[in-house]
Structure 1
Amino acid sequence: MSIKRSAEDYLVEWKDRSSRKPLILRGARQTGKTYLVEQFAKNHFRNLLKIDFEFDQEVKSVFRQKDPQTIISELSLFFDLPVIPGETLLFLDEIQSCPEAIHSLRYFYEKLSGLHVIAAGSLLDFVLRDFEYSMPVGRVEFLHLYPLSFSEFLLAVNARLHEFITNWTPPDQFSPVVHGKLTELMRTFIFTGGMPEAVASWIKQRDYVEVQRIQSAILSTMQHDFAKYGSRIQQDHLQKILQFIPGNIGNKVKYVHVDRDVRSTALKDAFHLLAMARVISLVFKTNANGVPLEAEKDRNFFKAIALDVGLVNRMCGLKLIRPEELMTVYEGGLAEQFVGQELLGSRPCFEEPALYYWAREAKNANAEVDYLVTHGSQVLPVELKAGKTGTLRSLHVFLHEKKSDFGVRLNMDTPSLGRFTAHVRLKKSSTEHEYTLLSLPLYLAGQLDRLLEHALDQPQ
């Protein structure tokens, strides 16, 4: 069966846009870039001319030319396929293997803008970083692709529940029966993860052992790619970090905890190499005094999450666990991994990936908010809490310090929206702070931006 990706809706909008530019898909290996484009072409074009530069080595020389009309004429003859603007999609896959093709995208935009051109590749960020040709800045656009979100998983396994969660808004009633079913499906998703091959296998066979086999193969492929990142010593550092992350999600990275015998600068470089490969995402600390959060990012303080929660499970050797344990296994690491990748996956796919948190480190007054999101000009704290309860001390401290009155809690309870008064302890006294709390079950993390739109419009 086919799996519908939300990114296809963006591709349709791109197809019909008059200001369209050649599109480059960026994402980790095996997140479904090729499948997405092939399905898009099947549904919206008469012809697909696909070039895989890892296999179609002989056509690389065609892209040394600067005239796109000559390029497509030669490709049309070679592949015996008509190339007609508006009817043909030109798909340049594994484009990292042909830098000349990346360079040619500027000429397709300038001289043959009527032709739809999409490029994709693995480890593409490394090529773009070291690109020796003139990068077609301003003449291409990007689409960032992630593993399947829980919403996309739900669409494939229970379309009615998908329709429900994508249309539900606070403060509408939420059935405990529906909540239980969604919680159970989230439990399944946290085990299978969102890598398309693993999800497709589970939908077809319902065989968890086969899912684990696929996840192990994906992890092996990722580690095999380490040879492309740098020296043998760097590969060793990358391997240590990959082993370190699953048990330390949610914790500020301290290089000494990875390997006290390796220089911190070497490990820092290795973390950023893995982030460039999209194998991990870095969650940076920010002062959060306003938007954009990037403006006050501290590059020296960060946490890290992996590409996919199912792969984290595989690396840890975990089996299916009860939903109520999601917040306590590895001290909430699984929940923080799940929410982090849901927040990334719910961003507009043309935006650069970014995650942030807030922390205050002071003697006897530490506070840390798991994630920060923005809505318009507002910076909103997002706290994850075990089970259905849990104090919100850090969230309260953040709201008081930033003079804000709206926070978000993600836990295992049914959703709610209410007004509360927090007692915030200061150095030598305490004060009260009134605020609105939007409380959501973990499985609605990917719906957060849409739900904030409704919650913030509610009368206080």
Structure 2
Amino acid sequence: MKRKIYDKLLEWKKNHKGDTALLIEGARRIGKSYIVEEFARKEYESYILVDFSKVNPQVMEFFNLYLDDLDMLFMNLELYFRRKLTPRQTKGEEARSLVIFDEVQFCPRARAAIKHLVADRRYDYIETGSLISIKKNVKDIMLPSEEHAIEMFPMDFEEFLWAMGDEMLMSYIRMRFDKRLPMEAFHRRAMDYFRQYLIVGGMPQAVQKYVETRDFEKVDEVKRDILALYRNDIHKYADNQETKVAAIFEEIPGQLQKHEKKFVLSALQSEARMRDYSQAFFWLSDAKIINCCYNSTEPSIGLKLNEERTTLKCYMGDTGLLISHAFDERGIVSADLYRKLMFDKLEVNEGMLVENIVAQMLRATGHKLYFFSNSSRTSAEDRMEIDFLIAKPITTSRHNISPIEVKSGQRYTLNSLRKCIAKYGSQLSTPYVLHDKDMKIEDGIVYMPLYMTPLL
């Protein structure tokens, strides 16, 4: 599977030349180990992969015993893995060998050792992991400042198109977006692909199964296995929070199918307060299982400054997983339901899926997630709900924030968006409506097909 993160790995190898280790964070089963080993195979003379989730405890002990004698540490690693490492000859040279610490969260001592290993300069180092920053995994260690961290996400829409054998469509979509032109004859084709992406999601195993079989039920089995893995992780690693974390996780579909998708804590427990559940939300967010979207009290520059963390929406990190999570009454999502989703015949729940995938796409392109909600009881003009707010990449004196409304049906109103434009016009950049129709511009609002979301 071709992944964009490969280019970031190349960039790191070329530009950093051993000054830092690379840390790749991301949810379980999104392909971190696969892409890093592929990179090691193609770009280095030799490599050693230490998978701390299943390695012999003896290997972990190497990091306790030999940090003050790196010659001994490397000799033991080479002997154990039966791989010869070749040190770099000069400081400015690109490394010839790579050491991969896979699932490094299981060996905090190895992560702490990065400081000494980078200073030694013999090899390059890549760490991968999930649950990187929860207390249990950083306890009693000094986090190395020599880490360059990047976040990895499920496959995005363009990567899905590549997997489906279409290398050209996204370039055309990008060109039409840049020129603000409708897709015309190719809109239907792009929407067909988008609906498949919505259903399958971006977990590489699920995408691969779909490419091989075109069988939604077989894909669903893969996704269900991943959900079972997540549930298992919650009970194993949530560290005295497992009951609360599990309760939030199971409640996500129910909260998203409401008209207002804000997470209502009373659904978990009467008189529940955010202070009691904030750690549980953080755990799920750190595990990259969910994408939290916080309320910004004003649609103006400095969304984080206006962030109200007690009011949030909680999206699944992958929409394909959300479908398997939401429609599991009989243990497996039926082919009939998938057919209805594919042909836009599902009468309910469509809105939550479309909003979830927009959140997923925005996160994958680097946006933090914010929405705007004002439930004023005194002024109808002030009462509004905007699905997402995103900031322009370059801040100017005015017009920095784009409000985004996500629409899933054929008929919809834009009351909140129009109120927002009327009240906050001087602070707003281009307002967008994301829908399943083609591109058009009307009354200063850009109406865009959903598959163009990654280009915002």
TM-score by length of 2: 0.86
Aligned twin of 2:147: 140
Q: How much has 1:202 moved relative to structure 2?
A: 0.6
Could you tell me which amino acid in structure 1 is paired with residue 16 of structure 2?
A: S
Change in Cα spacing, 1:394 to 1:332, as seen in structure 2 (3 Å) is same
- 2:436 is matched with which residue? 412
Instruction: Check conservation: 2:24, 2:32, Cα contact below 8 A.
Output: yes
Query: Residue type matched to 2:6 in 1?
Result: E
- Of the candidates 5, 8, 11, which is equivalent to residue 7 of structure 1? 5
Per the alignment, residue 440 of structure 1 pairs with 448
Match for residue 422 of structure 2? Answer: 400
SS at match of 1:120: strand
**Distance in 2 separating the partners of 1:415 and 1:326:** 22
**1:150 and 2:157 aligned:** yes
Asked whether the equivalents of residues 248 and 333 of structure 1 are also in contact (C-alpha less than 8 Å), the reply is no
- Give the direction of change, closer, same or farther, for the CA distance of 1:367–1:437 in structure 2 (3 Å limit): same
Other structure's SS at 2:117 match = helix
Partner of 2:134: 126
Rounded Cα–Cα distance in structure 1 between residues aligned with 2:53 and 2:238: 20
Contact 1:286 1:298 in 2 (8 A): yes
- The one-letter amino acid of 1:358's match is F
Deviations 1:5-45 (A, max 9, x none): 11111111111003641011111111111011012122222
Pick from 80, 87, 93 the counterpart of residue 78 of structure 1.
Answer: 80
> Deviations for 1:177-228, whole angstroms, at most 9, x for unmatched residues?
3111111111111111111111111111112111111111111111011123
Establish whether residue 239 from structure 1 lines up as the match of residue 253 from structure 2: no
Work out whether residues 130 and 286 of structure 2, in 8 Å CA contact, stay in contact via their aligned partners in 1: no
Q: Is the 8 A contact 1:66 1:104 kept in 2?
A: no
Q: Is the 8 A contact 1:324 1:387 kept in 2?
A: no
The match for 1:340 is 359
Distance of 1:63 and 1:296 partners within structure 2: 44
Query: What corresponds to 1:183 in structure 2?
Result: 191
Identity of aligned residues (%): 25
Q: What is the aligned counterpart of 2:116 among 103, 107, 111?
A: 107
C-alpha deviation, 1:169, in angstroms: 3.1
Deviation sequence 1:272-317 (CA, Å, 0-9, x none): 2212221111100113454332122111111110121011111122
In structure 2, give the amino acid aligned to 1:25: I
> In the aligned structure 1, how far is the partner of 2:429 from the partner of 2:391?
14
Aligned equivalent of 2:210: 202
| Comparing 194-203 and 166-175, the one that deviates more | 166-175
SS at match of 1:248: helix
- Which of 85, 94, 98 is matched with 2:107 structurally? 98
Offset at 1:107?
A: 1.4
Match of 2:97 among 81, 88, 93: 88
* Pick aligned residue for 1:214 from 208, 213, 222: 222
Distance 2:133 2:123 in 1: 25
What is the CA distance between 1:406 and its match in structure 2?
Answer: 2.0
2:368 to 346, 354, 360: 354
Contact 1:247/1:333 (8 A) holds in 2: no
Q: Which residue in the other structure is 2:267 paired with?
A: 257
C-alpha distance in structure 2 between counterparts of 1:71 and 1:277, whole Å: 31
Residue 283 of structure 1 corresponds to: 293
Alpha-carbon separation, structure 2, partners of 1:169 and 1:264: 40
| Residue correspondence of structure 1 range 369-384 to structure 2 within 5 A | 369-375=386-392, 376-377=394-395, 378-384=400-406
**Do residues 58 (structure 1) and 67 (structure 2) align?**
no
Conservation of the 8 A alpha-carbon contact between 2:296 and 2:306: yes
Does the 8 A contact of 1:229 with 1:273 survive in 2? no
Deviation at residue 414 of structure 1 after TM alignment: 0.6
SS at match of 1:30: coil
The alpha carbon displacement at 1:382 in A equals: 0.9
Structure 1 residues 208 and 289, CA, compared in 2 at 3 Å: closer, same or farther? closer
* C-alpha contact 1:369 1:395 (8 A) present in aligned 2: yes
- Partner secondary structure for residue 357 of structure 1: strand
Q: Name the CA distance, whole Å, in 1 between partners of 2:149 and 2:14.
A: 16
Relative to 1, partners in 2 of residues 1:75 and 1:322: Cα closer, same or farther, differing over 3 Å?
A: closer
Decide whether the 8 Å contact of 2:299 with 2:372 is kept in 1. no
Aligned-residue CA RMSD (Å): 2.4
Return the offset for 1:439.
1.8
How far has the Cα of 1:372 moved from its partner? 0.9
Please say if 1:193 is aligned against 2:193: no
2:14 is matched with which residue?
Answer: 16
CA distance in 1, matches of 2:68, 2:215: 51
How many residue pairs were aligned? 422
CA contact (8 A) 2:199 2:342 kept: no
Amino acid in the other structure paired with 1:23: L
Cα contact 2:108–2:138 (8 A) shared by 1: no
The aligned counterpart of 2:91 is: none
Equivalent position SS for 2:168: helix
Where do 5+ consecutive residues of structure 2 fail to align? 89-94, 328-332
Give the secondary structure class of the aligned counterpart of 1:438.
strand
Residue of structure 2 equivalent to 1:44? 43
Structure 1-normalised TM-score? 0.85
**CA distance in structure 2 between the aligned counterparts of 1:263 and 1:211, rounded to whole angstroms:** 38
